[in-house]
Amino acid sequence: MKVFKYKNVLIIFALTFAIITMFYFKNSSSAYASKTSLPLNQLQAFSEVYLKIKQNYVQDITDKELFDNAIKGMLEGLDPHSTFLNEKDFKDLQIGTKGEFGGLGIEVTMEDGFVKVITPIDDTPAYKAGVKSGDLIIEIDAKPVKGLSLNQAVDLMRGKVGSPILLTIARTGENGPIEIKIVRAKIKVKSVKYEIIDDNYGYIRISSFQNKTGNNLYDAISNLKKDAKGNIKGFVIDMRNNPGGVLGAAVDVSDAFIKGKKKLVFTKGKTENAVYEFTSNNTDLAEGKPIVVLINGGSASASEIVAGALQDHKRAIIMGTQSFGKGSVQSILPITSKTAVKITTARYYTPNGRSIQAKGITPDIIVKDLELSSLNKNKMIKESDLKGHLKNTDKKNKDGELQAQNKKLENDYQLSEAINLLKGLNILSLRKK
């Protein structure tokens, strides 16, 4: 009798599902519905699995849990970026796009059953603890990651602010797993930082793409021009280890450097809503000054959109290493007021029609990141190192600032090479005059 009861419930469920689905197709897209039929055999199999779980699973499980898991499995089986957002996930996503959220501060994906770090976000607990792009997280608090979904792994990494977590990581070049202890924190991400370095060259660090990144970039350029007293010589746009973010912010950043009405990025998908083309608005805030863009394997998604646009329009020289290769667009489609699905709806293309998916952006100049600390062992002695040396009495001298700038360049080989390239471009432009 119990089996019969469940079967009746399942028959009602299947019929209701069919009616709802047909109603949806009819009202959302009649053209698509005419070409689509319901997979009744698969629905029957689903019903049978549902029945067997309810009858045989070792402990009671609610219908909500079963259906939520079914939805998760359906989405996560599509690609690494599609997923179901429950109430908590949906809220966290909305907070994250605004630049404030709790956790470790890493952007992750799934690879071969393990959680792969796309990049640690600047100045976050994970970044300070030494987590690196490309790391594979194999255990979280001694619990194996293998077999978990990405959402399940992320849930394990979330926790109360101030609580510790132990990540066991497999890293290329290491003989065995390494353990990294991190303390969870409330993370506020400042997506744009800037400073003048090495004789009026503007350095702009974009660590992520949030709703206000475009406005923050405009402010940064304006302030850099003021700091350089109108004599800015060029810009380095640093998007290394930038995991991406809001598509509109990537468009705003690209637009800031491209003069005229030109294509910046376009998308292609199955539906009309997934087909977009974004163009620039006729203003180059850098006023034609040379630009070098830094990227690496942790530069993904929106970072690649910007790099691709500036590269295709020959507005910047791209330097560094091959980018991550995420050339897909995810849309947030609400299910209820508190839940949604994040689903891949389109691929994006650079102005010249290049798809970056699984390929990435190839830099114009390949410069690998090198460890330079060993070079300091043979540091040359200078006049200023000698005991009793005469002091420089020039009041205009900014020795402290220069030392700080030089230290920044000494510790960052790729940035140093970017500045050297800008200097070379400036010398060439002066000789042409």
Which residues fall within 8 angstroms of residue 314, CB to CB, at 6 or more apart? none
Where do we find the tokens 């501060």?
105
Which residues fall within 8 angstroms of residue 321, CB to CB, at 6 or more apart? 295, 296, 297, 363, 366, 367, 368, 369
Active-site residue identified among 301, 323, 328, 416: 301
- Phi and psi for 110 in degrees, rounded to 5? -110, 135
Active-site residue identified among 135, 252, 255, 312: 312
Query: How many Cβ atoms from other residues are within 10 Å of residue 29's Cβ?
Result: 14
Under DSSP, the state recorded for 350 is: -
Does residue 353 come out as left (phi exceeding 0), alpha (psi in the -120 to 50 range) or beta?
left
Return d(Cα 380, Cα 351) in angstroms, integer.
48
Q: Catalytic: 301? A: yes
Query: How many Cβ atoms from other residues are within 10 Å of residue 105's Cβ?
Result: 23
Q: Catalytic: 326? A: yes
DSSP annotation string for 290-332:
-EEEEE-TT--THHHHHHHHHHHTT-SEEEES------EEEEE
List 164's β-bridge partners, or say none. 183
The two beta strands, 201-206 and 234-238, are: parallel
| Contact call for residues 112 and 120 (beta carbons, < 8 A) | no
User: How many angstroms separate the Cα of 186 from the Cα of each of 99, 183, 191?
Assistant: 11, 10, 16
What does the block give as tokens for 281?
Answer: 């608005």
The helix/strand/coil state of 405 is helix
User: How many angstroms separate the Cα of 293 from the Cα of each of 176, 304, 320?
Assistant: 35, 11, 8
Active-site residue identified among 233, 289, 326, 342: 326
- Of 221, 233, 194, 228, the C-alpha closest to 423 is 233
How many CA atoms lie within 13 Å of 269's alpha carbon, on the beta-carbon side?
20
Provide the annotated active-site residues.
Answer: 301, 312, 326
